[in-house]
Amino acid sequence: MDIIKMENISKLYKSGQIQVEALKDISFNIKEKEFVSIMGPSGSGKSTLLNVIGCLDHSSGGNYELAGNEVNKLSDSKMSEVRNLFIGFVFQSFHLLPRMNALKNVEIPLIYRGMSYKKRKELCENALEQVGLKDRMTHLPAQLSGGQQQRVAIARAIVGNPSIILADEPTGALDTKAGEMIMELFIELNEEKAMTIVQVTHEEEIAEYGKRIIRLVDGQIVSDSVVEGKNV
């Protein structure tokens, strides 16, 4: 079953008197439980596309359906609700709040759902255990390595049991070993927890952890192929 359906998606930006077409006639579907990598050079539209997929931005044209919801027809408040329910985000720079410990950082999405403290704590502890950091839950971000901070960010992304994880250059700020650990964790979430994963990366080796690679150049898809590599 397709969880993401994009048909003829475009995205236009205005820069002074100039109109920039960041995405041009983008069409593809992603099935539930897929692990897809989106690749392309700087300025190719990768992050713009991820923002549209993640309901952080509206497209300028085309049709987008996320888990049965016609995103183009949603108000900003409804988009926020759909985003919080279906999507967990992982970013290159972690986006952890420096004065909050790991547990409190992971808790943030659940607060927006109005969940009780007792239930939030239970789910946060489970999420941190899942990423191998239950013994670090009281540590502040500054007391954690880069790889550990990214795992906290992943725990925050999965704590609400989303259908989809969207990751924007998730290994970009990490060394090779830490990056490999993050990718192995993504594979585990994909294969054992049945989460759909869509990641943006400029690194071929990282892209090949996915099972499919969509390549963008100048806002257009130039190839969409199954990976014949490490995760097949």
Q: Minimum mean pLDDT among 20-29, 68-77, 95-104, 182-191: which range?
A: 68-77
**Residue 129 scores a pLDDT above 50:** yes
Once rounded to an integer, what is the mean pLDDT over residues 88-98?
93
Q: What is the pLDDT of residue 8?
A: 97
Q: What is the pLDDT of residue 81?
A: 87
Once rounded to an integer, what is the mean pLDDT over residues 16-35?
93
pTM of the model: 0.91
Angle at 105 between CA 102 and CA 110, to 5 degrees: 130
User: Where in 131-173 does DSSP place strands (E)?
Assistant: 164-168
133-178 residue pLDDT tens: 999 999 999 999 999 999 999 999 999 999 999 999 999 889 999 9
Coil, strand or helix at 140: coil
d(CA 203, CA 50): 16
Once rounded to an integer, what is the mean pLDDT over residues 58-66?
95
Site of tokens 């579907």: 29
Residue of 230 and 197 predicted with greater confidence:
197
Q: What is the pLDDT of residue 230?
A: 60
**Residue 232 scores a pLDDT above 50:** no
Are 17 and 184 in contact, with CB atoms under 8 Å apart? no
DSSP code per residue over 20-77? EEEEEEEEEEEETT-EEEEE--TTSSHHHHHHHHTTSS--SEEEEEETTEEGGG--HH
What DSSP designation does 86 have? H
d(CA 214, CA 109): 29
- Return the domain boundaries, the chain: 2-226
Q: What is the pLDDT of residue 228?
A: 75
Are 225 and 213 in contact, with CB atoms under 8 Å apart? yes
CATH code of the domain made up of 2-226: 3.40.50.300
